């Protein structure tokens, strides 16, 4: 039996048309961003269409990505903009 390849998880931040920032996690950023653009992503991005992908962070597993997502969602808008400018 072959060794299972570990798949990275990604935390991504999207700037929406109204200037807000959406935060999510996925294993395929390109596919997830396209889903958001088509209105098939999260409820938030259906109401606040995406403008651009701002930043992507890589994590070893879903648990780490979920913890980072929760922490990022607790940030103020100004703190999120500072995070993506790094």
CATH number of the domain that 51 lies in?
3.40.1440.10
- Report whether pLDDT(4) > 70: no
Structure tokens at 74: 């607790």
At residue 2, the pLDDT reads 47
* pTM (two decimals): 0.90
In a domain, 3, yes or no: no
Which whole number is the average pLDDT over 45-68? 97
What is the residue range of 47's domain? 9-85
In a domain, 2, yes or no: no
If phi > 0 it is left, if psi is from -120 to 50 it is alpha, else beta; for residue 39 that is left
pLDDT band at 41 (very low <50, low <70, confident <90, very high): confident
- Report whether pLDDT(43) > 50: yes
Which whole number is the average pLDDT over 24-35? 97
Domains contained in the chain, number: 1
Greatest CA separation found in the chain? 50
């Amino acid at each position: 039996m072959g060794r299972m390849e570990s798949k990275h998880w990604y935390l991504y931040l999207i700037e929406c048309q109204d200037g807000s920032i959406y935060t999510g996690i996925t294993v395929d950023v390109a596919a997830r961003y396209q889903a958001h653009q088509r209105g098939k992503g999260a409820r938030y991005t259906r109401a606040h269409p995406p403008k651009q992908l701002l930043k992507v962070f890589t994590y070893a597993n879903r648990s780490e990505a979920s913890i980072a997502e929760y922490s990022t969602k607790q940030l103020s808008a100004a703190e999120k903009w500072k995070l993506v400018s790094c």
